[in-house]
Amino acid sequence: MKKDKILVIGACGQIGVELTLALRKMYGDANVLASDLREEHELLKGTGPYVSLDVMNKEMLHVLVIRHNITQIYLLAAILSATGEKNPLLAWHINMQSLLNVLDIAKEENIDKVYWPSSIAVFGPNSPMMETPQHTIIEPTTIYGISKFAGERWCEYYNHRYGVDVRSLRYPGLISYKSAPGGGTTDYAVEIFHEAKERQEYTSFLSEDTYLPMMYMPDAIRATIELMEADASKITVRSAYNLSGMSFSPKEIAAEIKKHIPDFTISYEPDYRQQIADGWPNSMDDSRARADWGWKHEYDLAKMTADMLQNI
């Protein structure tokens, strides 16, 4: 077991629950302190220490970091893309201030490593849609994407200027069955499995041919941990790495589900989220992550669909 003491902020969200459980396996239950605004998630109860924390309260966060001798921080608290569009100023405020609080405390307290996720939402309609490169036109049009892009620049700044070892991934849409998604544009790819099992039908809020980069949660958790475990000398991108698993459309995932549930039907009623999705890449080039720290995805659409339907 390693001696690190880890703080996970936003531990009760879609990623936080699974990441906290994975980190507890690696570092020991007592060494991973989970925190969130919400009540402790059912799946975390009894698995390790938990505190209630509002990451916007910098003083409280600072005290917590000192009191628990924290050496690594994973910041997962955020307002996601679809929710962000409903209250842009709030999304900007929370997404930026939470990161600045963490980066600044990491600098003050010489925290060993910080993890903060970015997103494919940093790209916009002027970015190349197919196999979007690591470095290209970045003109996000959602407030979520704008906050992620600004966050990436702050991460690189804190690394270059103050030596904070902060690492980041541009996650694609994440698909999981353990904890519910939190208001993103790719949430349809989780909902569809629940509806397929319960009602054998689903109405998609994205049109049938909307391709988006996606990833199954076990791959995302492994990518996060592999990035954080990599030797610092291998990390050549201090903003955020492109990360890719698979790319599919609502029509394609429906066809895959039909192989398991022949009666399943899908219909399409695109809403405001269609416009968000239309500005995002169809697929991502993550060759830099693969070259720098050996990233390799495991799950494709068929393997993920079989696993989701078995576990829901």
Residues interacting with ligand NAD, by CB under 6 A? Answer: 9-10, 12-16, 36-38, 53-56, 76-78, 80, 94, 117, 119, 171, 173-174, 181-182, 184, 186
Closest CB to ligand NAD among residues 31, 185: 185
CA–CA gap between residue 113 and residue 8 (Å, rounded): 12
Taken in order 62, 68, 71, 75, is the CA torsion positive or negative? negative
Give me the least distance between CB of 244 and ligand NAD, in Å please. Answer: 13
Closest CB to ligand NAD among residues 49, 258: 49
Closest CB to ligand NAD among residues 70, 174: 174
Give me the least distance between CB of 41 and ligand NAD, in Å please. Answer: 8
CA–CA gap between residue 163 and residue 108 (Å, rounded): 11
Tokens at 234, concatenated: 């291998």
**What is each CA distance from 282 to 103, 127, 142, 248, 259, in whole angstroms?**
31, 11, 17, 8, 24
Give me the phi and psi of 192, to 5 degrees please.
Answer: -60, -35
Give me the phi and psi of 123, to 5 degrees please.
Answer: -85, 160
CB 278 within 8 A of CB 118: no
CB 189 within 8 A of CB 214: yes
Closest CB to ligand NAD among residues 9, 284: 9
Give me the least distance between CB of 252 and ligand NAD, in Å please. Answer: 18
Catalytic residues: 144
Give me the least distance between CB of 78 and ligand NAD, in Å please. Answer: 3
CA–CA gap between residue 77 and residue 116 (Å, rounded): 9
CA–CA gap between residue 172 and residue 214 (Å, rounded): 5
Give me the least distance between CB of 38 and ligand NAD, in Å please. Answer: 4
The strand pairing partners of 50, in sequence order, are 34
Closest CB to ligand NAD among residues 10, 250: 10
